[in-house]
Amino acid sequence: MSKKPQDGLATLAIHAGEKTIERSVTQPIFQSSTYVFEEETQYVDVKYGRLSNTPNHQTLAEKIAALEKMESGLVTASGMAAITTTLLACVEPEGHLLAQDQLYGGTYYFLKDDFSKWNRKVSLFSVGESSNLERHFQSNTQAVYVETISNPTLQIPDLEKVVEIAHRHGALAIIDNTFASPVNFNPVDLGFDLVIHSATKYLNGHTDVLAGAVAGGSRLIEKIRKMICHLGPSLDPHACFLLNRGLKTLVLRVQQHNINAQRLAAGLQKIPRVKKVYYPGLEEHPNHLLAAKYFKGFGGMLSFDFDSAVNELEQALKKLRLPFVAPSLGGVETLITRPSTTSHSGISATERSRLGIHDTLVRVSVGLEDVNDLLLDFEQAFSV
């Protein structure tokens, strides 16, 4: 019996979930909040925008699930909406979450400031402890949460060990795969139960949409869908359309992000005022071997420490011609920011220092400009 051919990632990014409607090659925007009732027997099957089950939502959910090789998926109004609804759905009241301490600032704030208000507990561990989590588990630990590549210092947990230990204790393994994207890494290959994305970033890729996504087994996704239905962070149809359009070029974009970031990271190492570059594609990176083991590419994100005072760093940033000094990441344009003043500004200075987020740490989302132009621009701004 001949095997059914398996579509490649680029093919899935273009065709998965798509349905021809009125002979339209591109799916139209279904700008309708409600749909005709056809005697559906379950509430979540009733077509309604807040239930995230309109044609635009369904196309996206199927496409993202296919890209992550998962059974099912959901889209939300932002990356934080995907993170918060997933964690609240998967960790029950009186339950305990184990999470790494190097996290996106919004996730860190939610876990430290708000998670307990929902009657859930959280403990944090360092990325370096990821291969030895046993001592952190409690009798009520229900999930372990990590980032594929930590924000903003680009550390990589021992992902195989995280899954192995979580499952040994009967806990879910949940991962934020935003920095890597499905092009560079599919967490399901290591056994992760749920994959989260800030789809604002690489999945969309054009800095014009706020969205989130989660993919996993159908049973877990339905549990999260119920939380989304109750809390209401649904994605609007036009944003669904834009995200779907962005996904169709995901593979090409991320492949070029990988190339540009690798070259820029190597170039930054040659600039005297750049003290240290954090990029998993560099052999000097402490987690380079893990990255080479897990990933198809090393991603478009890098960080570096500037070897001068903050005011001198600010002056250097102003000399840059191409990058925008702005938060966020994953777009076609290069973005540069100091995490201590943006994504992680709400964390105390003492805690930031412990996490390696110094005031002179710079995070770069390497875009798709000609990389030679980027190299020249960083050299002229940071060499003097």
The domain boundary, picked from 247, 275, 305, lies at 247
Same domain (yes/no): 131, 280: no
- C-alpha 106/C-alpha 84 separation (Å) is 10
The domain boundary, picked from 247, 266, 300, lies at 247
Query: CATH no. for residue 292?
Result: 3.90.1150.10
Same domain (yes/no): 177, 43: yes
Same domain (yes/no): 126, 274: no
Concatenating the DSSP letter of every residue in 114-144 gives IGGGGT-EEEEE-GGGTT--GGG--TTEEEE
Same domain (yes/no): 219, 293: no
Query: CATH no. for residue 169?
Result: 3.40.640.10
Taking each helix axis from N to C terminus, what angle separates 218-231 and 79-90, rounded to the nearest 10 degrees?
A: 110
Handedness of CA 164, 165, 168, 172 (dihedral sign): negative
Residue 2 lies in a domain: no
Same domain (yes/no): 86, 46: yes
Q: Can you give the pTM of this predicted structure?
A: 0.94
Residue 82 lies in a domain: yes
| 206 closest CA partner among 249, 175, 177 | 249
Residue 4 lies in a domain: no
Same domain (yes/no): 74, 214: yes
- Name residues whose C-beta falls within 8 Å of residue 83's C-beta, 6 or more positions apart in sequence: 106, 107, 110, 176, 196, 212
Q: What's the confidence (pLDDT) of residue 2?
A: 46
Same domain (yes/no): 200, 301: no
Q: Name the residue range of residue 308's domain.
A: 250-382
Residue 50 lies in a domain: yes
Residue 372 three-state SS: helix
- C-alpha 316/C-alpha 329 separation (Å) is 20
SS3 content of the chain, % helix, strand, coil (to 5): 40, 15, 45
Residue 54 lies in a domain: yes
Let me know how long the chain is: 384
At 116, list the tokens. 């307990």
Residue 192 lies in a domain: yes
Catalytic residues: 50, 104, 176, 201
Same domain (yes/no): 156, 288: no
Same domain (yes/no): 117, 19: yes
The domain boundary, picked from 225, 247, 269, lies at 247
The owner of tokens 């790494």 is 100
Number of domains in the chain: 2
Asked whether 88 and 70 are in contact (CB, 8 A), the reply is no
- Name residues whose C-beta falls within 8 Å of residue 2's C-beta, 6 or more positions apart in sequence: none
> Phi and psi (nearest 5°) for 163?
-65, -45
Tell me the pLDDT of the chain (384 aa) as tens digits.
Answer: 445 568 999 999 999 999 888 778 888 888 888 878 887 777 777 877 888 889 999 999 999 999 999 999 999 999 999 999 999 999 999 999 999 999 998 999 999 999 999 999 999 999 999 999 999 999 999 999 999 999 999 999 999 999 999 999 999 999 999 999 999 999 999 999 999 999 999 999 999 999 999 999 999 999 999 999 999 999 999 999 999 999 999 999 999 999 999 999 999 999 999 999 999 999 999 999 999 999 999 999 999 999 988 999 999 999 999 999 999 999 999 999 998 877 777 777 787 777 778 888 999 999 999 999 999 999 999 986
Chain centroid to CA 222: how far? 21
Q: What's the confidence (pLDDT) of residue 19?
A: 87
- Sheet containing 274-278, strands listed edge to edge, beginning at the edge strand earlier in sequence: 274-278, 301-306, 361-365, 335-337, 324-325
Per-residue buried b or exposed e for 306-322, using 16+ beta carbons within 10 Å of the residue's own CB: beeeeeebeebbeebeb
Same domain (yes/no): 56, 180: yes
Residue 3 lies in a domain: no
Same domain (yes/no): 258, 213: no
Adjacent-strand bridge partners of 63? none
Same domain (yes/no): 206, 263: no
Residue 235 lies in a domain: yes
CA atoms within 13 A on the CB side of 28: 8
Q: What is the CA radius of gyration of the chain?
A: 21
